[in-house]
Chain A
Amino acid sequence: MIQIINTGVANIRSLQAAFDRLGCAWNLTVSAEEIESASHVVLPGVGAFAAATQSIDQLGLRNAIIDRINRLESPTLCICLGMQLLCESSEESKLAKGLGIIPHATTRFGDKVKIPQLGWNEVRPLNNGPFTTGEAYFANSYRLKTAPDGWGAAETNYGGKFISSIWRGRTLACQFHPELSGIWGESVLTQWIEGITC
């Protein structure tokens, strides 16, 4: 069973539909216990960094998410804002405290490009990773600029290179939306799910 963390600030219908198409059962959860024990967990996210961190803290889920990801072997997928939440902080809301699993801050795209980045862009893995080069749908104004130590990473160019995905153990974090990235996106989800009954 895939447990989707319901922070209440993300629109997750598209994600649910994608898992339905792949024949995987899912459930919405706000339970720290379920996040600890589930075979698969998704930290989704659109919307604002501060609202999401607040929601995680109000629901008392911070430690459960951090522990799960630091265990390495528990399949966890962080999408869009979900990836940014792994950082210490974000330029979007400087006072909000991220999960701090990676010691980085996300920053806003520069003035040279239209913000938000809305549309399809190429994602290119820099190391052997859970997917091959493909085109993905993005909807973001902030991004990670450098890959954290100890993580595999993919990069994308939008007014300069940024990190569009990172992975470590069984955790995969994507700045793009695999659930909205056509057949290639579905293959990313399958790769993440693969090997475990769901």
Chain B
Amino acid sequence: MLKSRIIPCLDVNEGRVVKGVKFQNLRDAGDPVELSFHYQDQGADELVLLDVTATRQERIAMLETIEKVRQKLSIPLTVGGGIGSIEDAGRLLNAGADKVSINSAAVRNPDLIEAMSTRYGAQCTVVAIDAKKNGDIFQVLTRSGTTAEAIDAVAWAVRAEALGAGEILLTSFDRDGTRSGYDLPMLSAVTSACALPVIASGGADSVAHMVEAFQHGAHAVLAASIFHDAKMTVGEVKRKLTAAGIQVRNG
């Protein structure tokens, strides 16, 4: 049986890991290379590195960070943030990413999902969806949460699947950094409509939140603050999940 995955997420800005609330007010949380190995040693099942920098120069520096992380990492690495083309995706894969996550560019140009999936395979094509509740729907946001799109997150996940995506990284804008738990209605809506594995993201502050996410169909949970603030180690989280009846990898 497939194990439920625990994925620490590192938002990287100007070569440092940062953490914000609702994608704003970024504060320093450490060195990305050191933190990656630290979480691997704790038993992380994979890592996500999100490049939240704005300039081209910083993006080139990000490639060096990925190379350094890859050299010592023996678990899968997903990289996202600012990917605009299949060439960008190729550069990240060459630097050592195993999966590439696309967000705004996929909304602007859905054909990019199909192109990536055809060229590199569905297993490395992750579609990241940021969304917030708006009336009866979960509205997709792009450009780090600054632009509201006239798209429903559930319909978008289904379309991404049809275009060849292999995984959905679903982040709740409303919950991001708020420590109030994952957005369970949004998670249920997406996991019941879309057959792809879904990574729940945004709002985790406890193991109970993670248990809820798995019970609502998540295949993996992403968390940042909970680990960066050393509130809990990945190992402690896994022991508690096991006690709650969730099957996780022992390593």
Contact = CB atoms under 8 A, between A and B. Distances in A.
Contacts of A18: 74
Nearest to B191: A114
A120 B219 contact: no
A157 B96 contact: no
B8 interface: no
A28 interface: no
A30 to B, nearest CB: 17
A121 B2 contact: yes
Contacts of B119: 47
A108 to B, nearest CB: 12
Of A11, A18, A140, A181, most B-chain CB atoms within 10 Å: A11
B167 A14 contact: no
Contacts of A21: 71-72, 74
Contacts of B40: 182
Contacts of A137: 46, 75-76
A121 B2 CA distance: 5
A47 B40 CA distance: 26
Of A114, A138, A181, most B-chain CB atoms within 10 Å: A114
A96 B29 CA distance: 49
A44 interface: no
21 contacts: A11-B98, A11-B120, A11-B124, A13-B70, A13-B96, A13-B97, A21-B72, A47-B119, A48-B118, A48-B121, A115-B196, A118-B219, A120-B3, A137-B75, A139-B98, A157-B1, A158-B2, A177-B76, A180-B76, A180-B98, A183-B74
Given A119-B5, A135-B249, 17 more contacts: A11-B98, A14-B76, A17-B70, A17-B71, A21-B71, A46-B121, A48-B118, A48-B121, A116-B123, A117-B2, A118-B166, A119-B45, A120-B3, A139-B124, A180-B98, A182-B75, A184-B251
